Amino acid sequence: MIDKLCIVGVGLIGGSLARALRAAGAVCDIVGHGRNAAHLQRARDLGVIDRAETRIADAVRGADMVVLAVPVGAMSRLLKEIAPQLAPQAVITDVGSVKGAVITAARAALGGRFPSFVPGHPIAGTERSGVEASFAELYKHQRVVLTPEADTDPDAVRRVTELWRAAGAETLIMSAEHHDEVLAATSHLPHMLAFTLMDALLKLDDRETHFALAASSFRDVTRVAASDPEMWHDICLSNRTALVKALTHYRLQLDGLLAALERGDGDYLRALFTRAKQQRDAFPVQDKGRSVD
C-alpha cells in the first residue's frame, strides 16, 4: 500500500498509472503536480487524482512514492527541484523512454539520495496524450523495464516493482545501455519513420490527392506520427547515439531494397517480404492502443 503517491505530470502515462493503482486499492492518497492548473483540475474532476499542487515542493512533501511522468528533457530540472523536498522514506522513479540520460541527470541532482531512484520505462501507451486519454487498463499484461544501477537500493527496486505489478504490468531488469539500444530500434526508429513519411508527403506538389487516397496501410504506418512532438524531440536528442546507429542500419536496408528495385531483382524482394511476413506473423498481438512507448 502506498500512503501518498505523487504523480509529476498527470497525462496519459501518469494518469493511467494513478487510475490503475486506485482500481487495485494500492494507494491511499494521490497528489498530482503540473504547471497548468486547469489541466490538474480536469484530472481531479475525472477522479484521477485526489489533490492538485502547482508547486513541486508541496506536491512531493511527505510522499513515499514519486513518479516523474514528464518528457525526458524536463527530468533534470524537476529532479533538482524535488531533491531538497523528499521525505526520508521516499522512492523516486520515472517513465522516460531513454534511461542513460535520465540516470546521469538523477545522479547529478539527487546526490546522496540517488540510491532511492529507480529508473523505469513502461512499454505501453497510445498516440493520444492528456489525462482524458488515460485509462486504468493501459498497463495490464504489459512490460515495464527497470534499469537500476549497482548502487540502487534493492528495497527501492522492490517497491517500484510492486507498484507496477499492482498496475497489472510485468517488470524486467536490464542495463540502461542495453535498454536504450533496444528501444532506439524498436520504438524510437519507428516513430522517426512515421514522422518522416508524413513530412515527405506534405512536401509533394499534389499532396491533397495523396492524402485523399491514403488507405488503411498508410494510416497504420503513420499512426504514431500523431504522438507528442515535444516528447519525441527530447527522446531523439537524449538517445541520439543509439538512434543514429539504428537509422544507419535501416538506411542500409533501404539501400538494398532500392538497388533490388532498380535491377528488377524479384528474388531479393520475395525473400525480404517472406522473412518479414514470417516474423510479423509470429509477433505477439497486443491490444489496440497499447503500442506507443
Q: What is the torsional sign of CA 238, 239, 244, 250?
A: negative
Residue 286 has a pLDDT of 58
Distance of CA 44 to the CA centre of its chain: 23
In terms of Cβ atoms closer than 10 Å to its own Cβ (0-12, 13-18, 19+), residue 208 is exposed
- Residue 293 confidence (pLDDT) above 80: no
Q: Name the CATH code of domain 2-174 (choices 1.10.287.1120, 3.40.50.720, 3.80.30.20, 3.20.20.370).
A: 3.40.50.720
Alpha helix stretches (DSSP H) within 111-228? 154-166, 176-183, 189-202, 207-212, 216-222
Q: What is the torsional sign of CA 219, 222, 224, 229?
A: negative
- Residue 98 confidence (pLDDT) above 80: yes
Element (H, E) at 31: strand 27-33
The class (CATH top level) of 178-282 is mainly alpha
- Residue 258 confidence (pLDDT) above 50: yes
Q: How far is the C-alpha of 15 from the C-alpha of 7, rounded, in Å?
A: 8
Burial track 219-244 (b if 16+ CB lie within 10 A, e otherwise): eeebbbbebbeebbebbbebbeebbe
Residue ranges, CATH 3.40.50.720, the chain: 2-174
Helix, strand, coil abundance in the chain, percent, nearest 5: 55, 15, 30
1 confidence band (pLDDT: 50, 70, 90): confident
Residue ranges, CATH 1.10.3660.10, the chain: 178-282
Q: List CB contacts of 52: < 8 A, sequence separation 6 or more.
A: 31, 32, 33, 34, 37, 40, 41, 43, 44
Q: What is the pLDDT of residues 132-169, one digit of tens each?
A: 999 999 999 999 999 999 999 999 999 999 999 999 99
Q: What is the pLDDT of residues 153-209, one digit of tens each?
A: 999 999 999 999 999 999 999 999 999 999 999 999 999 999 999 999 999 999 999
Residue 59 has a pLDDT of 96
290 confidence band (pLDDT: 50, 70, 90): very low
For range 88-113, the mean pLDDT:
97
For all residues of the chain together, what is the average pLDDT? 94
For range 105-125, the mean pLDDT:
96
For range 214-220, the mean pLDDT:
92
Half-sphere exposure of 281 (CA within 13 A, CB side): 6
- Taking alpha carbons only, the member of 115, 37, 42, 35 closest to residue 77 is 35
Which residue(s) pair with 146 in the sheet? 120, 173
Number of residues that this document lists for the chain? 293
Q: What is the pLDDT of residues 5-51, one digit of tens each?
A: 999 999 999 999 999 999 999 999 999 999 899 999 999 999 999 99
Residue 287 has a pLDDT of 47
237 confidence band (pLDDT: 50, 70, 90): very high
